[in-house]
Amino acid sequence: MSHDFLVLGASGMQGRIVCRDLLEADYSVCLADLHPEQADAVGQRYGGSRYRVLETDLRDHNQIVAAIYGSGADVVINCAEGDWNLLVYKACLEVGVHCIDLGSDIPMTKDQLALSEKFRQARLTAITGCGSTPGINNIMLYYAVTNEFDTVDTVEAGFAWDSNIKKFVVPFSIESIIEEFTEPAPVLYGGMWEERTPLQHTTVRTYRDIGKQMSFPVRHPETYTFYRYYQKRGLQNVLFYAGFPDHSRLAIENYIESGLGDKVPRKINGIQMRPIDFLVTILRDLPYPDGYTEIENLWVEISGLRHGKPKQVLMECLVSTLPTWEDAGCNIDTGIPASIIAQMIKNNEITTRGSFAPGPVVPYDFFFDKLRQRQMRIYKNGVPVTA
């Protein structure tokens, strides 16, 4: 049986969201995962007879290729950790299918975008970073620059979130979070690149529907992709900020200080294991408290010129926990955009071929409309965007 989509990492936090959104839209989905029994539980819950499960180890190139062939899908959605994104891209090129993922670190993003000519020659589309940020923020930036600016000087962007119950839950990939807390953050300042240590450069910002929150620069691919796409518009300054509520930030800092975020393998009861893998495992099925809800603000602030006059635009996407999606919190703003973009490729709403970051390649009017249908609200300077 051929399926409409192949989802890699189908049983993970984002994979479950993507699979549910696709299955509830009546697509057939092949769920590939290192833990097939957990992927099968996702399919049973949402898929009826429209799913199939393949046990797949993304560390093995041949298994990735076999999963793509076995699914019969022409669009691959990679929801696994970013470590495997380039391998998946190369496998998709080999088989001849479109692919998207949720984002990579900057070096890997560069390698993925460098494959653009090969994807174009193969008449394929590849888009890296199709979630919240990277993802929604990239597309909001493209909308604002296209419609509001002649030149752009500064782009600041980021996310902030909070919850009604001040108890730790996994906000998104804990491995990615720990990397953001600990790895130097690239910042473009005055046209020159520099690095900042995240928690040593904090600031307090005020966010719509959230209020004041401590934020800090983090390593995110948008600093590179924003500059890549808009340097010819005059871009000189790019900063990316993360905002976590205190109860979540302090818990993450404690994990880091205890050594649970380390990637150097250790022998535990005779088993060689990275502490971060142990942490991922124990937090994997951490439940949300009863009645728990979240709200997130994805934002991009742009400064530049329009008709020779200074202009500033604040783009925001406000996301709240959706009814019946309570077990996903605000992670819907990562999984669902990936589902939307994959469907756009499948249905020929995206026809540009090559390898890209989101923004110029995703039609923003269609994309924003799909977000609104899922109660994700886009604002420009506080006014709802209807285009």
pLDDT score for 170: 86
At 239, list the tokens: 């900063």
pLDDT score for 285: 76
At 371, list the tokens: 């977000």
pLDDT tens figures, 119-178? 999 999 999 999 999 999 999 999 999 999 999 999 999 999 999 999 998 887 888 899
Tokens 């249905």, located at residue: 347
pLDDT score for 284: 77
List Cα–Cα distances, 374 to 45, 256, 318, 335, in angstroms: 20, 35, 11, 12
Are 193 and 223 contacting, i.e. CB atoms less than 8 angstroms apart? no
CA dihedral 18, 23, 28, 31 (to 10 degrees): 40
pLDDT tens figures, 252-286? 999 999 999 898 888 878 888 898 988 888 887 78
CA dist., res. 138 & res. 127, Å (int): 12
List Cα–Cα distances, 160 to 16, 204, 216, 249, 316, in angstroms: 23, 11, 11, 12, 11
pLDDT score for 287: 84
Q: What is the mean pLDDT of the chain?
A: 94
At 7, list the tokens: 């989802």
For 57-109, the DSSP string reads -TT-HHHHHHHHHHH--SEEEE-S-GGGHHHHHHHHHHHT-EEEES---HHHH
Angle of helix 136-148 relative to helix 364-373, nearest 10 degrees, comes to 130
Average pLDDT over every residue of 332-338: 97
SS3 assignment, position 270: coil
pLDDT score for 22: 97
Residue 251 dihedral angles phi and psi, to the nearest 5°: -65, -40
pTM > 0.85: yes
Q: Which residues contact 219 (CB under 8 A, 6 or more apart)?
A: 105, 106, 179, 180, 183, 184, 185, 186, 198
pLDDT tens figures, 307-324? 999 999 999 999 999 999
List Cα–Cα distances, 59 to 15, 181, 241, 282, in angstroms: 18, 26, 31, 22
pLDDT score for 387: 54
Average pLDDT over every residue of 291-299: 96
